[in-house]
Chains A and B, each alone.
Chain A
């Protein structure tokens, strides 16, 4: 298993543009999480999927943000009309349901810079 994979690793975009990130979780992990991390801060929870169902969303997830996991495998996170405040590292994690509240395995993240 290659672990959680995120693409792209880096993205620079102009303010107002839309961006989409992809996360491929560890195979057979049915839980997938998106976090955002800004400089000097810990990761902040954005949203969580169990299989294809989006079960929880943080208040941080404004209406410009949308996440999908259509077949319960990979997930995408789209940010519309990006703002400079969206500049951050976006982290994806996955975990297995076998052990309740098990640890999640994180990808290396996508660093977004909005100019």
Chain B
């Protein structure tokens, strides 16, 4: 069984603040993939990052960074110096095994960045 929990329904910050979006997952599989997607008001899901279960190295991409910790089954996403354009719903997702892409999505965290 798969499960992705994004406990934060909505986060509101002021521009330039740092913000961390939490993601906790459950899986019995040893091979799995974790994803983050951004969904702006336009509705299109925008891919941000993919991480496989064998690579716990944290990643930084500009103002975005991800912290993958298998010990706590978490894959948290931090935005540094947030901007109004970061306002969107962010989804964490999990898929198991090789060969297909059928992730289970969390319920999403709505991030509102105020000017």
Could you tell me which A residues sit within 8 Å of B by CB distance?
Answer: 31, 33, 40-45, 48, 55-56, 89, 91, 93, 95, 100-109, 111
Contact = CB atoms under 8 A, between A and B. Distances in A.
A101 B91 contact: no
B100 A101 contact: yes
A5 to B, nearest CB: 11
B108 A101 contact: no
B60 to A, nearest CB: 18
Interface string B34-47: 01010000111111
Contact of A48 (B47, B97, B102, B107): B102
Interface string B74-115: 000000000000000001010101111111111110000000
Nearest to B103: A45
Interface of B: 4, 33, 35, 37, 42-47, 50, 52, 91, 93, 95, 97-108
B68 to A, nearest CB: 16
Contacts, number: 64
B93 A56 contact: no
A75 B91 CA distance: 25
Nearest to B33: A101
B100 A48 contact: yes
B44 A106 contact: yes
A26 B99 CA distance: 19
A44 B105 contact: yes
B95 A108 contact: no
Contact of A101 (B37, B43, B99, B104): B99
